[in-house]
Each structure stands twice: as structure tokens, then as C-alpha cells.
Amino acid sequence: MLFCLSEAIDLISPRLNCHHQKVAYLSYRLAQKIGMTEKEQRNILLQGLMHDIGALSLDERLSLLEEEPGMTSSHAFRGGKLLSGCLPLQSLADGVRYHHIPWNNGQGRYFNNHPVPMESHILHLADRVCASFPNTPNILADTGAVLSKIKLQENVFFAPEIVSALYELEAKEHIWLELADVAPLRLLPEAAIDDSKIGLDSVLSIAKIFSHVIDFRSHFTATHSAGVAHIAEKLAEQAGMDHEERKKILIAGYLHDLGKLAVQGSILEKPGKLDYREFSEIRSHSFYTYKLLNMIGGFSTINQWASLHHEKLDGSGYPFHMKAEQLSLGSRIMTVSDIFNAITENRPYRKGMEKNEIIGIIKGMSDDGLICPYVANILLEDIDFFSSLSKATQKLAADDYDKFFRDDDKIAI
């Protein structure tokens, strides 16, 4: 799941190509070199995959490649905040939170009286190394210059022990050639990857973190995934799905717009009508959701429900142009839920629609054979309940968004 999210984050720009994987790879090799335990090595690999999770905009992510962001960089603290709120990922939080604290002759062991773990200093060094390489195919020719640049900042930004470990890796060509690979983590030994299986409750908790990364890029999208997830869950209950299926559809709702991380924020926030190229970019997102979730073992049902939410029963949807016989009940529920939430939410170009307009659109699409009449009827027969649920869910999500950014400048955590 974390590999999937790191891939999604890097989709935002080709300049970020594989950055999280590269930092994870080099952090693992450095942890290995300084003698950390295998458990610690696996943990820092996961932290590398998540280290920039708190950088929510494209501009912020690109700026992180250009220069040292400094000890009070808010993206690191936001990342720690996101991870600390998720029980399965809490052990990653501090490493990510403090990964731009400079060593400062050893004073960087603490920040505002909080211990800064060695993992943070490893991530810091690995991040700066990976950001320093020019975009050229001959990494071996550039390694010496990059390491010399790092050496100049030893004891100021970087811990001497980790700089020494980096220099011990310099002579091992395979390390740098693997780092330059399109998927460096696949070249690590099998024991490096934490492939433990987790239950649906843990998956749900991680999916909520995914939804924050997807939705918190803009206040216009801040409530969408949560709204879709909870409406879909209630539609599934009234359609007779069992407890486990309802939990899966809740997860699918949180993840259905994962592919929107590949869409520019300026398009998501555009106040007017999208032009052809912009609309084409938007239409790609459900395919990217499918592609990304396809990486996760045991996710085939969740992926189908999440990624087919723009398909239509007559085959006119996208990206696969499936028809009624190919679309499961879960996929049909997700489509209705997404449409319902989209037309009830405020968007940059319009206010959320009123009850009569909502009924007209849902009924019209059902009558035209675009969406499932059975699911549409469940919604329409209890429209006041679903409208209230949508508003309540959106209010909670909006409060989460406001609270998350309200304390953005309060660095002591």
C-alpha cells in the first residue's frame, strides 16, 4: 500500500520520477551500512516511501528538489501529523516529522526537547543526495561530485557517521546503478521488504491517510472522498451487502480518486469550464486509480469498485467503456455515490445543487440507462437521509481539513 501511495505522489510530475523509491532505497543501504537491525532497516525503507507525504502541492514538491527546505519546513511536520493519526503507520511518524532537522554539531539530536531519531538524519541525507543528482543517464560519472557537495555540509546539515557510511558506499558501483533504476526497490533483497499482511481495519485506516493526501490539495476537494465513501457504505447496506463488503466499499470510496494525484492542482481549482486538454487530463484519473491499486495484493475487488466509478451502463463512460453486464453492484454503487457527492458539493465553478435539481439529475441518468436504476432508487427513495448524511460527512471532513492546516505553523509537536 505504501509503495502504491509513493507511486501516486510521484505521478504529479515527471521531475519527481521515482524520488520516493530512490530515497527509500538509499536510506535502507545507509541503515544497513551503519549496522541498524533488520527491523529498523525495513522501517526506514517505509519512511523513505512516505517522507514527503506532507508536501501536498506540486509547487511544494518541486521546490523540495531545488533546495534544502530547512528545519522548520512544514511539509515534514504535516507528514508526521498524517502518519501519527494512523495506528498502523505511527512508528513511521517521528522519522518523517524531523527529516529536515540539521545535525548542527550534534544539537540536531533534539528538536524542541523532542528526541530526533537517527532515521530522520538518514532520510535527510538520502533525500539531499537523490535530489542532487542531475537528470543524466551516467550516474557513476556524477557520484563523486554529489558526495563532495554532501561532504562540505558534514556536521552542519548531516551527521558525520552517516556521511562516512555514504562514502563507504561510493566504491560499490552496483549501489548507484541500482539507485538509478526505474524501480530500485525491486533490486533489494527479499528480506528488505515488509510484506506483512494486514486486516481490513488497518487497510481502512491507511486508506483514510490516502484520502487526505488526495483531497487536502485543495479546499474544494477536501471533503469529496470521505463523502463518497460514507454514501457508498450506506447505499451498500441498504442494497444488502454484508459487513465485510461494506468495509471494502468504504475503503474503495476513500481511494476512488487516487489517480487525481496525477492531475494538476490548477485544473482541480479552475473556476471556469475546462478546455479540451484539461478535461482530457481529468479523464485520465480513474485509469491511474486502477493502475495504482492494481499493485496491491488482495485488492482486486476494492480496485474494481474504486476505479470504475466513471463507467456507464451503456458503455459511454471511461476509461474502459464497460457495459452493464461487466459492472458489479459495488461499481454501480460507487458511480451513484460519486455523482451524488459531486453535485451536492460546492465547486470552484458552481454551488452545490438543491434537492429538486439533484433528484432530476439522478432520475434522468437512471432513465437514460447511464446509471443503475436499482441503486438510484435506493438513493431517491431516501433522498433526505442521504442529503443529511452527505452534509454531515462533508462538515466533518471540512473540519478535519481546517484543523489540519490551522496548526501548520506550530512546529513544536
Domains annotated on the chain, with CATH? 2-192 (1.10.3210.10), 200-406 (1.10.3210.10)
| Number of residues assigned to the chain | 413
- pLDDT at residue number 23: 96
- pLDDT at residue number 57: 63
Whole-angstrom distance, CA of residue 87 vs CA of residue 85: 6
C-alpha angle with apex 264: 254 to 223, nearest 5 degrees? 30
- pLDDT at residue number 225: 92
Residues of the chain with pLDDT under 70: 12-16, 57-73, 348-349, 407-413
- pLDDT at residue number 234: 98
- pLDDT at residue number 32: 96
Whole-angstrom distance, CA of residue 70 vs CA of residue 63: 12
- pLDDT at residue number 374: 98
Helix (H, G, I), strand (E, B) or coil at 123: helix
- pLDDT at residue number 412: 44
Helix (H, G, I), strand (E, B) or coil at 273: coil
pTM of the model as a whole: 0.90
List Cβ neighbours of 32 (8 Å cut-off, separation of 6 or more).
41
Give the DSSP H or E segment for 111: strand 110-111
User: Cell digits for 67?
Assistant: 533546495
Can you state the percent helix, strand and coil of the chain, rounding each to 5? 65, 0, 30
- pLDDT at residue number 61: 59
- pLDDT at residue number 216: 83
